[in-house]
Amino acid sequence: MSKDTVARYLRVHQLNIRLKSWLDNGSVAFIAAVTLSFLKEDEQALVADCIERNSLTADIKKADLLRQYSDRGKLDGESVYKILSGETAPKPNRTPTVKVDKAEYARCFKPSQSAKEVQSIVEKALELYFDNQ
């Protein structure tokens, strides 16, 4: 076993008994359980109660979001329910990628133009477009 795996196994000992039993029976994924182990004891109890009462699950993304709320001191019963039920989803932290059809690209740009040059042209075109709105 790697040192990271050993550290994770040691970390899950910080889970409350209910979360630990769900890890043992496979109801909670191992990495999600590791993340949940960073929650305070009372927060873990809130999570366990919410899962039990509402037949919900805690996957890795939800566990990460629960930990983020905990780190900011904003994890309470309402936020636990919203996260576990999927009402509160993590916000994407990257700008969406825009793709241009190959034929359209070839119509507008020469093969000899560099990516930097094409980017500059697109930026100028967008600036002109939005200035005329």
Return averaged pLDDT per consecutive 10 residues of the chain, 133 residues in all: 92 95 91 96 96 92 95 95 87 78 91 91 90 81
pTM: 0.66
Indicate the residue type of 65.
Answer: L
- Which of 112, 70, 120, 110 lies closest to 58, judged by CA? 70
Q: Determine the pLDDT at residue 73.
A: 94
- All structural domains of the chain with their residue ranges: 3-85, 102-131
Separation between Cα atoms, residue 21 and residue 27, nearest integer Å: 9
Separation between Cα atoms, residue 124 and residue 66, nearest integer Å: 42
At 65, phi and psi to the nearest 5?
Answer: -65, -40
**Between the CA atoms of 64, 17, 21 and 11, what dihedral angle is there, to the nearest 10 degrees?**
50
